[in-house]
Structure 1
Amino acid sequence: MIVRFGFVAMSMLLQNASPSKTMTYTNFAKLADREAALRKLERIAEENLRNTLRLLRHCFAHDIMVYRFSSKLIPLVTHDDLKEWSPWDVLGQPLADLGAFVRSKQMRVSFHPDHFCVFSTPRPEVLVKSCDDLTYHLRILEAMGLDETAKCNIHIGGAYGDKPASAERFVRQFGDLPVRFRSRITLENDDKTFTARETLNSAEEVGTPMVLDLHHHAVNDGGETASSLYSELWPRILRTWDIPPKGNTDVQAKESPERQTAADTAGQAVPRTAAVAASPAEADASAADDGSGRRGMEAGAAGSCGSGAEAGAALPAKLPPKLHVSSPKSEKDPRGHADYVEVEPLLRFLRETEGSVDRLDCMIEAKQKDAALFKLMDDFRSLEAAGEGVRIIDGASIEVL
């Protein structure tokens, strides 16, 4: 089993490379010239996108082919008082440059929208905001010219005093989204409310791949045994990566974005915000070129894997399942994320699941970001030297033997 590792957003090693510089709305509102204030937001966003390209190059230089974008690339773009602001034309080229790099290097990229993106909510106005937030992430991916293998990972949301009812509401409200949205989503178990089994049940019902978070499962296992995790849940999780999304098949790909008030959405499963205009880069996506005179490889498309299993960098035609890995910060704060990842629990899981799938991608959610990835790879090198059934493929990939 080939296992690739990635990290989230920030680098602890690159200097002055934050992809999430921002401006608070309070400071924005203090600027007397609104147009000048909007141009300042656009300059911040341009810097974030330039830094993201630096981060992608840093990743590729170290064989890291799995990366999660910051959700704060464009500051304040979803704020209610900035509805008229459309930065997409100004940011079209740097976004297209990011997408071209991802495609040419066949990297796997993703987003993790913030905690307020909740489709289990009973409140229509929160559902509107959830759709707004998902729209924002979708438009970025489309402006990059990336296909549906570039995913947004979300949680089911809150229980709101009745977990079964909330799960049913999630299935209904999420299922009513256009397939253009749902085909971009993965669903992850959380650390307090919805267990791996409960999340899996919902993922199967809506036809969405499930990301298993090992840390979340450790602190919110719902009484699951190790045996049931490996023998029942894990095979079912793998199958979620094989099924198409279910529910509404109306793509609505060319409708203009339109916001609604909470009153407008009362009694509706999904607001019209779900219908999003084509991104600025969508119309001329064919112009994205990898330098060879042909269109760059779509993310996730089948491409040359070099020497087959040795080419841990190449993305196969079918997306590998994904894990999230991190370690508890302390005994007093078991849900918090530590600076680094403990290798033993991860290796135990990989050994138990070896043979169930050819390839697996692991997103490291440790506080030390890429430094945590490099330390984990050092730990695996030690295990390889000790004959522990691990083989190092490159700077960010291993094979479990």
Structure 2
Amino acid sequence: MSAPVQPAYGLVCMTLGPELRFRTITLKRYRSLDISERYAALLDLYASNTAKLTEAAAYCTARGIRLFRMSAALYPMLDLLDDPTGTAVLDELAPALLAAGQAFKAAGIRVLIHPDQYIVLNSDRPEVRASSLHQFLTHADVLDRLGFERSPYHCMILHGGKGGRGDVLAAVIRDLPDTARLRLALENDEHIYSPAELLPVCQATNTPLVFDAHHHVVHDKLLDQEDPSVREWVLRARQTWTPPSLQVVHLSNGIEGPQDRRHSHLIADLPSAYFDVPWIEVEAKGKEEAVLALMDGVVGRGL
């Protein structure tokens, strides 16, 4: 067994405390505004969230956090097919977005994004596929505006979508524009796509696989995350990353045991199979409390 590495534990989207909180607006409220009011409302909201995103770089730097998942909800209404207001607002805020991206790059912090679960690129409904593609491309556009490179270093993580349609998913991926295709990563889930079902898609399209041990345990009804198959999938997923040092996995525990899909507040069980994984996103209700506890070695690595 190789020597353990010190992984970069990732903070997901916001803090439990008040430091990193982002604003939003409901579709109902937005639709109630007239055109001029919509622009002003989004300009204020987008500017606030972009400034807070810049603060996230400083927050992570101060605590030694080197991985950050950016919220996919920073710019609400940007994906409306019948309203280009959000895009126009981002055009006005272009310098601020570039500055936010530069703050992360200057600090050496890797930024990822996990778009909405309702994005189903391989739906059997054409209108859903079209809407999903549009939404996905808006997230890619934001990463471009932040100045992030088009590579898995700044990956956009999706689940497999509609079950039994891996071939359709692969075909859609091949046709994606570079802004999305070069950043795409796929993640196994609890109910539909196991890592075994996603791996052929990843291999056929040169798409990295983000392995989630908790999802794997729930999907396959395993005893816990120490099942030998967890290590097998860490290694098989690693082969899909170029270079392997970019591999990302997800870490979470169930509230009431390994089969509970709900995320616990802190991480009590860190699978030994993750001992040499370089980048670990921490999906815990405790947010920064869970990340900082792991960084402080409060949770053993099962070695």
TM value normalised by structure 2: 0.89
Distance in 2 between the 1:60 and 1:195 partners?
35
Is the counterpart of residue 59 in structure 1 residue 60 in structure 2?
Answer: yes
RMSD value, Cα = 2.4
Letter in 1 for 2:210: V
Is the counterpart of residue 374 in structure 1 residue 300 in structure 2?
Answer: no
The corresponding residue for 2:234 is 234
The corresponding residue for 2:157 is 153
Letter in 1 for 2:256: S
Distance in 2 between the 1:68 and 1:90 partners?
24
* Superposed structure 1 runs of 4+ greater than 6 Å apart: 222-225
Q: 1:235 to 1:91 in 2, by over 3 A?
A: same
Q: 1:99 to 1:190 in 2, by over 3 A?
A: same
**Quick check: 2:157–2:186 contact (8 Å CA) kept in 1?**
yes
**Quick check: 2:10–2:65 contact (8 Å CA) kept in 1?**
yes
Measured after TM superposition, the shift of residue 331 of structure 1 is: 5.0
Q: Which has the higher contact order (CA 8 A, sep 6+)?
A: 1
**Quick check: 1:195–1:222 contact (8 Å CA) kept in 2?**
no
Distance in 1 between the 2:178 and 2:78 partners?
24
**Quick check: 2:230–2:273 contact (8 Å CA) kept in 1?**
no
Measured after TM superposition, the shift of residue 234 of structure 1 is: 3.1
SS at match of 1:154: strand
SS at match of 1:5: strand
Q: 1:171 to 1:337 in 2, by over 3 A?
A: same
Measured after TM superposition, the shift of residue 228 of structure 1 is: 4.2
Is the counterpart of residue 18 in structure 1 residue 18 in structure 2?
Answer: no
Distance in 1 between the 2:122 and 2:255 partners?
29
Structure-to-structure mapping, 1:260-339, within 5 angstroms: 319-330=245-256, 334-339=260-265
Is the counterpart of residue 44 in structure 1 residue 45 in structure 2?
Answer: yes
Query: Which structure: larger Rg?
Result: 1
The corresponding residue for 1:124 is 126
**Quick check: 1:11–1:370 contact (8 Å CA) kept in 2?**
yes
Is the counterpart of residue 73 in structure 1 residue 77 in structure 2?
Answer: no
Unaligned segments of structure 1, at least 5 residues: 244-317, 390-401
Q: Which moves more between the two structures, 176-185 or 129-138?
A: 176-185
**Quick check: 1:68–1:112 contact (8 Å CA) kept in 2?**
yes
Q: 1:202 to 1:194 in 2, by over 3 A?
A: same
Q: Deviations over 1:166-202 (max 9, x none)?
A: 1111111222223332111111001111111112222
Q: 1:382 to 1:144 in 2, by over 3 A?
A: closer
Distance in 1 between the 2:299 and 2:189 partners?
32
Q: Deviations over 1:316-360 (max 9, x none)?
A: xx7521110011122597111111112x3x242234xx4xxxx51
The equivalent position to 1:140 in structure 2, one of 136, 142, 146, is 142
Query: How many residue pairs get matched?
Result: 294
Measured after TM superposition, the shift of residue 381 of structure 1 is: 4.5
**Quick check: 2:120–2:161 contact (8 Å CA) kept in 1?**
yes
Q: Deviations over 1:348-392 (max 9, x none)?
A: 2234xx4xxxx51000011121111122334x24759xxx86xxx
Greater helix percent: which structure? 2
Q: Deviations over 1:51-84 (max 9, x none)?
A: 1111221111000010000111112111233235
The corresponding residue for 1:205 is 204
The corresponding residue for 1:289 is none
The corresponding residue for 1:269 is none
SS at match of 1:186: strand
Q: Percent identity?
A: 25
The corresponding residue for 2:97 is 95
